[in-house]
Amino acid sequence: MLGVSVRPSAHSRSLNFKSQSNNPVVNTTKLQTSVINNSIHSTAKTLGEHIAFKDRAFTLEKSTEIKFPTEHFDHYRRENTNPNTNRAFSYLIVGTAGAAYASAAKNGIWDVIGQMAPSADVLALANIEVDLSTIPEGNTVTIKWRGKPLFIRHRTAAEIDTAQNTPLTELPDPQKDQDRVKTPEWLVLLGVCTHLGCVPLANQGDYSGWFCPCHGSHYDLSGRIRKGPAPLNLEIPPYKFVDDSHIVVGLAD
């Protein structure tokens, strides 16, 4: 059997080329490439960017600039606007709010102070009235006042004379008798020793006044310290005479 070599003719090659050019796959690829290129250029134009292709690589040169208006916003302003009127209205609002806040703060502070103040029953016990006509001359009575002992002595004429004529140089805490009483006959003292707070005994001691047995402090008939560790005289509480025979302890004149 003879071998036969077959070559395609020029005509047949031309037909084959035409058939390839009419191939739908090739045409679709070209169409997609064209669409992509158009899309890239369109996007670059919208963003204001320039795309330069070189050796399959591209660079972006950004040229987009955002500008803000520098002119006055007169277009957005209301017409016939008086700045003084707006300022006065603002001051009125601020002043009214400040006054309201100040009033609320004042009421709150007064409420707190009112809660801290003593109640009416406590105030009633804070002041006591004493009938002096029930105390004989030369005697001392002890009354409880604000949880502390209160000494009230009806002094005799001899006791008054002794207290008033005592030299101040003999007193550790110098004080005149006239400065410690409202009337010479009546001496009102707080019965607490000025050393460590003990209660002195009446009509005791070297000076016939008060004596503290805890540490040996002696007080005279004016309640002044004469001997012992106590540094000060017995305290005089606030009191006033309502009439000749009644005093109120806890209220000053």
Is the Cβ–Cβ distance between 186 and 205 less than 8 Å? no
- In the chain, how long is the greatest CA-to-CA distance? 179
Is the Cβ–Cβ distance between 220 and 209 less than 8 Å? yes
> Do strands 246-249 and 128-131 pair parallel, antiparallel, or not at all (unpaired)?
antiparallel
Residue 115: its pLDDT value, please?
A: 79
Question: What residue ranges do the domains of the chain occupy?
Answer: 11-62, 82-116, 126-249
Residue with tokens 């369109």: 42
Is the Cβ–Cβ distance between 51 and 66 less than 8 Å? no
* CA distances for 28 relative to 21, 67, 135, angstroms: 11, 44, 133
Is the Cβ–Cβ distance between 212 and 176 less than 8 Å? no
CA distance linking residue 24 with residue 32, whole number of Å: 12
Which amino acid type is present at position 223?
A: G
Is the Cβ–Cβ distance between 230 and 196 less than 8 Å? no
What backbone phi and psi angles, to 5 degrees, belong to 53? -95, 135
* Radius of gyration in angstroms for the set of CA atoms belonging to the chain, rounded to a whole number: 56
The whole-angstrom distance between residue 195's C-alpha and the CA centroid of its chain comes to 40
Which of 253, 249, 221, 246 is CA-nearest to residue 237?
249
Active site positions, annotated: 215
Which amino acid type is present at position 65?
A: E
| Residue pLDDT tens, the chain, 253 long | 444 444 444 444 444 444 444 554 445 555 555 655 566 555 555 544 444 444 444 444 445 566 666 566 666 666 655 666 677 778 888 889 999 999 999 988 988 887 777 676 666 667 889 999 999 999 999 998 888 999 999 999 999 999 999 999 999 999 999 999 999 999 999 999 999 999 999 988 899 899 999 999 999 999 999 999 999 999 999 999 999 889 999 887 7
Burial class (CB in 10 A: 0-12, 13-18, 19+), 33: exposed
C-alpha triplet 121, 125, 128: angle, nearest 5°: 140
Is the Cβ–Cβ distance between 204 and 187 less than 8 Å? no
Asked if CATH classification 2.70.170.10 holds for the domain at 126-249, the reply, yes or no, is no
CA distance linking residue 93 with residue 96, whole number of Å: 5
239: CB partners within 8 A, 6+ apart: 182, 188, 247, 248, 249, 250, 251, 252
